[in-house]
Amino acid sequence: MRRARYSKWDGTQTGFELDAEDLLAQLTDDLLYHGDLNAALRRLMQQGFRDRNDERVSGLRELLEKLKRRRREELDRYDLGGVYDDIAERLRDVVDTEREGIDRFEQDARASGDQRRQDIADQVAAEKRMQLDLLPPDLAGTVRELQNYEWTSDEARQQFEELMDQLRQEVVQSYFNQMSGAMQNIDPAQMQRTKDMFDALNRMLEQRDAGQPIDPSFEEFMERFGDFFPGSPETLDELLEQLAQQMAAMQAMLNSMTPEQRAQLEGLAQQLLEDMDLAWQVSRLSSNLQRAFPGAGWERRYQFSGQDPLGFSEAANLMNELGDMDALEQVLRNAQSNPGALAEVDVDRARQLLGNDASASLEQLANLARQLEQAGLIEQREGRLELTPRGLRKIGDNALADLFKHMAQDKMGRHATDRTGIGHERAYETKPYEFGDPFNLSIERTVRNAIARSGGGTPVRLIPDDFEVERTENLTRGATVLMLDLSLSMPMRDNFLAAKKVAMALHSLISSQFPRDYLGLVGFSEVARELQPQQLPEVSWDFVYGTNMQHGLLLSRRLLSRQTGTKQIIMITDGEPTAHIQPNGEPFFSYPPVQETVDATLAEVMRCTREGIRINTFMLDATTYLKGFVEKLTQMNRGRAFFTTPETLGSFVLVDFIEQKRALRGARHARGA
């Protein structure tokens, strides 16, 4: 049996990982303000956030800056010319060792006392020194001449052979890092196998480019030559892409050198590959790969400004690292516009380049969209991420919770009533049946009363005194339309987010706590339009001037005409009426407002009043003109006016709504009594 041990929290334990609902909460304000889920997700990924443990998850911008600093550190540290200098110095050491050997050869001849031997030794030594003095200045020429040179010093010959073996290995590693292990200490048979591998690889590439059947197949090729590729690529494209990246890194190293250094190393590489009879195959493969992968970075170059010299192999490894940094940077930049691009990140390689914290952040960023999708909060629709119905409810819950936490608990409570009477919702209480009660019989309590009365036994016989019925809550039904100002002044005065959050919170409150109530939504600016709840998260302000309350009230009145119960309009605005609909159906706008607009708006207020619709107005940044207009509105309609701020708007709206629900329930109960 599994056991779990618990310890007291001491502040050092790691808490739970960030879950999908936490992520959506991080997105809520941005989504409500800008109305674009994809943009909100992109901004969250760019800026970063804090997880449940209050630990920082780095954003894309921060990671890009860290990557740039890491690259700059490498470029400022090293001198790429050291590659050339290192090889030249090692060749000079070989030549110096040979000169010392020549000197010893002469000394041994003189010490022998044999004049003829001494004469021959002097002649040979002079010829050897002349050969060494006339060595070509370029690396490739020096290597070529020394390969045909008859060594006097066994030590120098051994040094040269070891240097050549090392340089061949480093050249192969520079061009084909994966193959270097399979090409160490190769004998003639293995060298021939290497040539066969290159030939088969080139034929596969050329056949594919020509649209011909590939022979051998990739599977057959890997069966014969798989030991050359310890990375175990699964497809031909994967194999070729790896080779292209490696050859492009070697080309980037050459591109980053001075013309002289580049010529020296290119000549040396060509010479060493010629020694292995691979020069033609490598040149052929390079041409094929450049055609197949033109975007692999063949033109890359770096500006080194440091002092630390690099050897051939160190430079090759650094070029691979810089290439991986470039590739990671490209993925991060793509992810700024397409969050799904982070799925391509090699987290292990990112850890090597940027460290554990950065790779952990990358992993979390890459999982953002997937977590939200797997939790059923968002989904892909026609290439875009959209909220699901569950996500929409969660956004509303977040907005409601955010508003509630700023409100005093004694003002809110659970909004329940202890009144009972005729209704439809069970109160989970019973009472003895009285004439006139709804016959919602509680079977359990009724049978229990009969058994208690008769003392048990079957059959159980019921009499009217045994009957108990379910109590029900005294219900009221309300119909509300929320009129949301979408004019340009709302974001300009920083009022839009607060108003949008109230709309989401009110929708969440009514749908969860008062499901029989109706909530309609109308947005208004130059003209008004009905909004659906599922549209709310992505509703944004209109880039037009005009506050058309008249049209908004007209649409709200029409929506409420189809509803029953108490009716009200909640209007949230920060401006006076500056637009109305003309008889020809066209909107008219004027600022400051003209009397025609005011009259048209008040006429619609009168129609709402005649139809029993109360208008409660919540004013943000109220001007003197707006206050005067709203006073006229409330006198005509007997609604209420609230002068509020973005910080207190939610409290005003929700408290007022709930207190009205309480008042209506109380009034209904009083009438019933």
- Assigned token pair, 138: 């370029």
CATH, domain range 478-672:
3.40.50.410
State the DSSP code for 38.
Answer: H
Q: Which residue has the higher pLDDT, 353 or 52?
A: 353
Counting Cα atoms < 13 Å in the Cβ hemisphere of 554 gives: 16
Q: Is 259 exposed, middle or buried (0-12, 13-18, 19+ CB in 10 A)?
A: exposed
Lowest mean pLDDT among 97-106, 479-488, 640-649: 640-649
Q: Is the dihedral of CA 186, 192, 283, 274 positive or negative?
A: positive
Distance CA 354, CA 360 (A): 10
Q: Could you report the per-residue pLDDT of 177-223, keeping only the tens digit for each?
A: 656 555 555 677 878 888 888 899 899 989 988 888 888 888 999 98
In percent, how much of the chain has pLDDT > 70?
85
3-state secondary structure of 9: coil
**Is the confidence at residue 331, as pLDDT, over 80?**
yes
Distance CA 71, CA 6 (A): 45
Q: Could you report the per-residue pLDDT of 290-329, keeping only the tens digit for each?
A: 998 898 888 999 998 888 888 777 888 888 889 889 988 8
**What pLDDT score does 96 carry?**
94
Q: Is the pTM of this model over 0.85?
A: no
Residue boundaries of the structural domains of the chain:
20-77+324-387, 81-323, 420-473, 478-672
568 has which bridge partners?
480, 614
**What pLDDT score does 550 carry?**
96
Distance CA 669, CA 273 (A): 99
Conformational region of residue 428, where left means phi above 0, alpha means psi within -120 to 50, and beta covers everything else: left
Q: Could you report the per-residue pLDDT of 248-259, keeping only the tens digit for each?
A: 888 888 888 888
Conformational region of residue 552, where left means phi above 0, alpha means psi within -120 to 50, and beta covers everything else: alpha
Residue (of 639, 358, 396) closest to 511 by Cα position: 396
Are 391 and 23 spatial neighbours (Cβ–Cβ below 8 Å)? no
CB atoms within 10 A of CB 620: 25
Q: What's the whole-number average pLDDT of the chain?
A: 81
Distance CA 359, CA 527 (A): 50
